[in-house]
Structure 1
Amino acid sequence: MRAVRLSVVTAAATAAALTAVTGCAEKSDAKGADGAVTVIAKDDSCEVSKKEFPAGHVTLAVENRGSKVTEVYVLHPDDRIVTERENIGPGTKATITAEIKAGDYTIACKPGMVGDGIRQQVKLTGAGAASAKRSPEMDAAVAAYRQYVQAQADATLPKVKVFTDAVRAGNIEAAKKAYAESRIGWERTEPVAESFGDIDPKVDVREDGLEEGQDPAKDWTGWHRLEKALWKDKKLGAAEKQLADTLDKDLADWVKRVGKAEITPTSMANGAKELLDEVATGKVTGEEERYSHTDLVDFKANVEGAQKSFDLLKPVATKNDPKLVAELDKQFAALNALLDKYRTDKTSYVFTSYEKVGPAQRKELSDGVNALAEPLSKLAAAVVK
């Protein structure tokens, strides 16, 4: 479960952006459908309408009545993520549709998107996955996405090794050149990595995302720690070389575990929305790659990952909601065209440095994300109609 802490200035800007991303769509989206479990998130409480309900296709109707942007998670007992919805702005609503097996779980609300959250224990009863009927098209989509995620993970390791070898050699310029490309496979499939709970904080956390009590000098590892060393500190010493070894080890662990990830049609759809949330909170604001300014590479990879899930689910969604599919096709095309304006080499992942993207251009990118995020938030419900 990611921890995100924003600077005061960025938090204000992000809150405005999140209202645009989540507010309009979610106000019309969370209407407490029949059988839905209502979750009322406040700054000091997380109220769940039912503590026991049937497994299968579950709908959570979430309303944020607090003053802070919040997140809502469904977690396994060991804190692995079943499903989540981030960036729910104050006064807005969201509907989360997920396929969940029978068992004991925790629903957590995270006001301010920090910490372990305010938690409620719930129990899902019945046949579990068996009660969530899947068509052959759904099974095909899950199988194809599982192959895609594994392929992205497998392809990441050699690219990371180019990066970490340069760090170990003390070659700052070579490491800088390899940095952004080493992250593409991760960014395309990040919701799957986040579902494991413990890998994402090791490899992709920013300094202000460390938990309270953690020491950056001892506890901060991963890509962004090395990013700071390369672009801000401008030095690669023994500590950085050790961090390169740790990054290799942690990502090798990720690759081994990807094949065991729980993947369902709804987790694919919700993951696509999560990737757009990643763009809204990290890439558009410039927070993600604050030293390297390679945000647009991550941005493009997030969009590609979201589009892959959508494309695989399209046969099912087209049967259930053809208008939604047409709108998603339109908005994906528009956002990709907008991103390509900043691609300095059309045959590779070379984009304009984000520090050169002005406020008006960032607003245009944000508007493109918002236009896609609104219909994408409805994909999971369309898949299980």
Structure 2
Amino acid sequence: MKRALGLVALAGLALTACVQNNADEDAETIAVTSTADGCQVATNTAQSGTLAFEVKNDGNQVTEFYMLGDDKLRIIGEVENIAPGTSRTLTFVAQPGSYFTVCKPGMVGDGIGEAGFTVTGEAVEVAVDDEEAFAAAVTNYTAYTKTQVAELVTNVTEFTNAYKAGDDELAKKLFPITRINYERIEPTAEQFGDLDPKIDYRKPGADAEGLEWTGFHRIEADLWLDEAKKNYPGDPITTALTPEQRTTLADQLVADVKTLYEQVHSDSFKLGIEDITNGAIGLLDEVAAPDGKLPGEEDEFSHTDLYDFYANVEGAEVAYLNVRDIAAGKDGGDELVTTLNKEFGAMKSLLGKYGDYDSGFVSYDTVGQEERNALGAQLNALSEPLSKLTSQVLGVS
């Protein structure tokens, strides 16, 4: 049975995309021009209400247009598969707030022309029921997942090119940055059979299952060979790989990531509302696991665990924000949402003491046990209320 959310001023669900071929006649129309090297939006401000972005593709590749949340991660609305020389319109109800616009020629990579966009005015009341809200959340989270994998393809290619070229300094710098996209959507990536073992297994996991060890962590061991020798003295992995072996390993990672891209962009790829809510807590479980980030076992050679830790928390927060207003609209939801908002902020603030993506995080082997205990305590403070998200969203006790 559908349970009405009633009239609510949607904050996280605010810009619920409803892609149409023609703009609503009451909508404010904003022209967007996507080219090979730009994303020109006619204005960077608008009043709250129905907006229609008319996106024209003047480039030579199929393109996409996105409206992102203020974290530059959540996809609030998107229109894709805009062929060269054609136009499509993205129409939605815009609530007051700060957002970002971006185009993605070729539909891979980080996108170009990212720019701030501000919606002013009063909140717009929108009648939403569970069915509509669930559909909007799934649509936006699916688009987010596809975007993360598309960016992963580009970043893995850059990382492996440096590794194959023997530029170990650059490869080491790119290793933790490249993994961010994967860590944000890890539970979803794990749905695809043997792809996650190929891409992200650690040595003990591969050995336990009798698998050939490939992927990120096999390359990590080769890049940080001294650490590999400390952890696995006398093991064959302590012998530096030849250029030919490096190429084989790198090309395999690229191929596996491209297969992941094909899987999430296929017509058969479907997510449900439970994939979002359970995925949020699953990401925090990845941090706390005995072989995870908190114990320092994930990146045992590079000690770049804090990058993965932060990315897992980011991914969990994006999943939560996609369903936050659904949770808030049900009995007892305001209290849970208030708690989760607070605990996500506290978790990210605590991690921020150790660095960030731009300036880098400290090596995790320099973080003492007392400090790790504090991180674990905050992780627990966040995980406990987050574990209630699925039942709250589904309205079951």
Q: TM-score range by the shorter chain?
A: 0.5 to 0.7
Mean CA deviation greater in 181-190 or 234-243: 234-243
Find the partner of 2:374 among 340, 347, 364: 364
Aligned position for 2:318: 308
- The partner residue of 2:282 within 274, 284, 299 is 274
Question: Does the CA contact (< 8 Å) of 1:167 and 1:236 recur in 2?
Answer: no
Letter in 1 for 2:214: T
Match in the other structure for 1:251: 257
- Aligned length in residues: 248
**Alignment check: 8 A CA contact 2:307 2:357 kept:** no
Taking a change above 3 Å as real, the CA distance of residues 188 and 289 of structure 1, as seen in their structure-2 partners, is same
Offset at residue 195 of structure 1 (A): 1.1
Q: 1:176 to 1:187 in 2, by over 3 A?
A: same
2:222 counterpart of 1:229:
yes
The structure-2 alpha-carbon separation of the partners of 1:208 and 1:220, relative to structure 1 and needing over 3 Å to count, comes to same
* Pick aligned residue for 2:151 from 150, 155, 174: 155
State the Cα deviation string for residues 208-236 of structure 1 (Å, max 9, x = none): 01254626xxx111000000011024844
The reply on whether 1:145 has 2:141 as its aligned counterpart is yes
Question: Aligned match of 1:171 in 150, 158, 167?
Answer: 167
Return 5+ residue gaps in structure 2 as ranges. Answer: 1-128, 226-237
Distance 2:270 2:153 in 1: 22
The one-letter code matched in structure 2 to 1:231 is: W
State the one-letter code of the partner of 1:266.
E
Q: Deviations over 1:252-278 (max 9, x none)?
A: 000111134331111101000010000
CA distance in 2, matches of 1:313, 1:347: 26
Are the aligned partners of 1:152 and 1:189 in contact in 2 as well (CA < 8 Å)? Answer: yes
C-alpha distance in 1 between matches for 2:154 and 2:312? 20
Partner of 2:341: 329
With over 3 angstroms needed to count, the CA separation of the structure-2 counterparts of 1:292 and 1:347, relative to structure 1, is: closer
Contact 1:157 1:252 in 2 (8 A): yes
- Return the TM-score normalized by structure 1: 0.62
Offset, 1:184: 0.6
Question: Do the aligned partners of residues 331 and 213 (structure 1) sit closer, same or farther apart at CA in structure 2, a change above 3 Å counting?
Answer: closer
Flag the 1:201–1:252 CA change in 2: closer, same or farther, 3 A: same
Distance 2:150 2:171 in 1: 20
| Alignment correspondent of 1:297 | 307
Q: Percent identity?
A: 42
**Cα offset for 1:198?**
1.6
Q: Deviations over 1:191-215 (max 9, x none)?
A: 1111112210110000101254626
Q: Give distance in 1, aligned partners of 2:324 and 2:348.
A: 18
Q: Tell me how far apart the structure 2 counterparts of residues 326 and 134 of structure 1 sit (CA, whole Å).
A: 21
Judge conservation of contact 1:172–1:234 (CA < 8 Å) in 2.
Answer: no
> Offset at 1:134?
4.5
Q: Residue 213 of structure 2 corresponds to which residue in structure 1?
A: 220
Task: Answer 1 or 2: which has greater helix percent.
Answer: 1
Give yes or no for contact 1:284–1:362 (8 Å, CA) kept in 2: yes
CA distance in 2, matches of 1:366, 1:376: 15
TM-aligned CA deviation for residue 299 of structure 1: 0.5
Distance 2:206 2:195 in 1: 14
Letter in 2 for 1:284: L
Residues 234 and 330 of structure 1, relative CA distance in 2, 3 Å threshold? farther
Q: Provide runs of 4+ in structure 1 moved above 3 Å.
A: 233-236
- Computing the radius of gyration from Cα coordinates, the structure with the larger value is 2
CA contact (8 A) 1:181 1:349 kept: no
CA contact (8 A) 1:192 1:261 kept: no
Q: Which residue of 1 is the match for residue 195 of structure 2?
A: 199
Structure 2 match to 1:239? 245
- Deviations 1:327-358 (CA, angstroms, capped at 9, x unpaired): 11110000000000001xx5626111101101
Aligned to 1:355: 365
Higher relative contact order (CA 8 A, sep 6+): 1
Kindly report which structure 2 residues correspond to 1:35-46, keeping only aligned pairs within 5 A, or say none.
none
TM-score by length of 2: 0.60
Q: Which of 327, 337, 350 is the aligned partner of 1:338?
A: 350
Provide the secondary structure at the position in 1 that maps to 2:224.
helix
Unaligned runs of 5+ in 1: 1-132
Match of 1:117 in 2: none
Q: Alpha-carbon deviations, 1:259-318, whole Å to 9, x = none?
A: 343311111010000100001110100000000000000001000000001001011000
| Counterpart selection for 2:205 from 209, 229, 249 | 209
**Is the 2:130–2:326 contact (alpha carbons within 8 Å) kept by the matching residues of 1?**
no
Contact 1:317–1:379 (8 Å) recurs in 2: yes
Alpha-carbon RMSD across the aligned residues, in angstroms, is 1.6
